[in-house]
Chain A
Amino acid sequence: MHNQCSDWPTPPAAAVPGQARFRELLVPRVLAFESFRKAIEAGPGADAALRDVAALAHKIAGAAEVVGYPNAGEFSAALETSILRGFAAGATVAGIWREAAPLFERLLDEMECILDA
């Protein structure tokens, strides 16, 4: 299920350094997120897959806003923070994922919206 796309202006790619590269990486990153989700839901290796989600969200958070996608930046930062907080608090992988999954979905939706734009 997809949420409504956020209302952000699409800056002209040529005017924003890094934007074209960011867009190029969107599909492989969405696919990577999907494979991490499968691993988390499968059980074995869920811990490592959850950390991979946090690491990829960290990367997106570092650049998205500057290349013209503030919502993707905000959503990925929230996802990363949620997972890291869960690990720091000693929560179970299932518990962390329960909290993080809506944020994960929101970020995927946003990435797909950028792809569609």
Chain B
Amino acid sequence: MRILAVDDDTVFLELILSALRSLGYDDVVTANSAEQALEKIELAKLPFDCFLLDIQMPGVSGVELCARVRRLELYRRTPVVMVTAMSGRPFVDSAFAAGATDYLTKPLDRLELKARMGMAARLHEERERLVTYARQIGLSVGAAEMQVEFDAAFLIPGVDRAIEYMALENYLLTLGRKSVHAYASFGVHVTNAATIYARADAPTFVAMLSDVALAICDGVKTVQVLLAYAGNGNFVGLTSRTNSTDLEELERSINFALSDFEDIYQADKLPLPEVTVGELIRGSVFSLSRPTKILDQAIRSAQPVTIIRPKMKLLAG
């Protein structure tokens, strides 16, 4: 895996280089500013497979660098791990919004680095498999990505606040139990997603999910939300605990916004997507469960209520 590590502190670069090598990552290029990193990216004969970006750098920050990397087609899905000291935690939200997949904290902990790099390597391998698959069936990688499974979580294209579901989980896991109480999550379920998936081709299905994601972002009326698609027609949003969005109103607002597209869906002979929104699930400081539980609960809360009728007993005649 070819890695580009960017940090303005030469001591830290030396440290991370040594730590990565000890973990078996030998192909590491370093840059001590965002500007130098962009130059190395442009001139690279072989593309990079993973980026490690320091958040707080003078000039162009790591967050801005992450956004610029993401704008390059070649690196749209390459793992980007942000590196920050505890004092840089306030910047982490914007890093995820800029497309980061994970982050690790300074001072560097070898075990944490190993875990984060393991995750990045898995994402990289997945990407490599996709490239091989695309080559085998003669498609572009973009088109191959469109072969979506109904239950797969993936990044919704064209939505600023959307991040990968795994990145959202990573974010909560690194926040830890003590900090998760400052956040709340909500789920949005597309009730007829399975029907649309069965009738539409993959690009149309993804476009439908983009419509829903944009309607959610408009309805939430705050930029302080991170949104991820979790598969099976389920979205989950992470927002501040104090967010005062009325979720019943949000459900109405999303469905109303989607009704604008009725003609388009009719032309495609598809039903208009309809959503249900669950309750706001707040993280608890006293909870001993894993921090990502609020995402599972939010998804569950958005599922429509199914009335289970008791089975009728057949009376013997």
Leading 5 A-B pairs by shortest Cβ distance: A17-B18, A62-B106, A18-B15, A65-B107, A18-B14
Whether A61 lies near B85 (C-beta < 8 A) is: yes
| Chain B window 1-43, contacts with chain A (Cβ cutoff 8 Å), 1 for yes, 0 for no | 0000000111110110111000000000000000000000000
B121 at the interface (CB under 8 A from A): no
Shortest A82–chain B CB gap in Å is 10
Give residues of chain A (18-62) contacting chain B, Cβ–Cβ below 8 Å. Answer: 18, 21-22, 25, 55, 58-59, 61-62
Interface of A is mostly: helix
Chain B residues packing against A (C-beta within 8 Å): 8-12, 14-15, 17-19, 56, 58, 85-88, 106-108
A66 at the interface (CB under 8 A from B): yes
Query: Which range holds the interface residue count of chain A?
Result: 20 to 34
Whether B86 lies near A21 (C-beta < 8 A) is: no
Interface of B is mostly: helix
Whether A21 lies near B85 (C-beta < 8 A) is: no
Residue in A18, A21, A80 with the greatest tally of chain B CB atoms within 10 Å: A18
Shortest A56–chain B CB gap in Å is 10
Closest to B108 in A: A66
Sample of 6 further A-B pairs with CB below 8 A, known A61-B106, A66-B15? A17-B17, A17-B19, A22-B11, A59-B11, A62-B107, A63-B12
* B107 in complex: contacting residue of A21, A25, A63, CB < 8 Å: A63
Q: In the assembled complex, which residues on chain A have CB atoms less than 8 Å from the CB atom of B10?
A: 21, 25
Whether B87 lies near A81 (C-beta < 8 A) is: yes
